[in-house]
Copies of this chain bind each other. A is one copy, B any other.
């Protein structure tokens, strides 16, 4: 039996809200993320449970079954590969690709995914720094730090973002921060935790806590 667009979206969202510890996801959280009402979520949860894709006990929240996890990871693989295609081959900005990939991720055909993967040169990360699951369904999340955890004086590499909103990505573009940028934390203001950082040894700029909280970095 094939899964519908809607079912795939639910599975992907459950995967993401569940986090790496596979925590229970609440009905309301899903309603929020799917932009539907809680009642609709409950209906869908019953359906996904019947199909063996989630563990669901009324009032207790849900987690993915092994099968559900597999499906979710396949969709994530497709989403991220298409994003790479859109940015690397078609010249889209990293702030423009999410919604399109949200549709492309549901195109069936295993062959298509594997040919696309090969065409792109088997990329390991998508344009936002998120890891791309391999063909077998292995997804290893690198454990990056958040910029707020970096000490004054440290130099780190910008590796990814937590917020994928176009407005945030465009803000980074305007600040000259991209994947791979070297960020040196020069000063942290006690009052509002805003930081003064130097990018690639060049320009120094101030970034708010809001921005710091959404930047994933790594020791160089």
> What residues of chain A have their CB less than 8 Å away from a CB belonging to chain B?
86, 89-92, 96, 99-100, 103-104, 107-109, 111-112, 115-116, 119
Task: Quickly give the copy total for this chain.
Answer: 2
Q: How far is the CB of A82 from chain B (nearest CB, A)?
A: 10
Q: A85 CA to B89 CA in the complex, in Å? A: 11
A107:B116 contact, CB within 8 angstroms: no
B100:A112 contact, CB within 8 angstroms: yes
Contact partner, A90, options B90, B100, B103, B112, Cβ 8 Å: B112
Contact partner, A115, options B91, B109, B119, Cβ 8 Å: B91
Q: How far is the CB of A119 from chain B (nearest CB, A)?
A: 5
Contacts of A99 in B (CB 8 A): 109
B90:A119 contact, CB within 8 angstroms: yes
Contacts of A100 in B (CB 8 A): 107, 109, 112
* A/B interface sample: 19 pairs, CB < 8 A: A86-B112, A89-B119, A90-B112, A90-B115, A90-B116, A90-B119, A91-B115, A91-B119, A92-B111, A92-B115, A96-B111, A99-B109, A100-B107, A100-B109, A100-B112, A103-B107, A103-B108, A104-B104, A104-B107
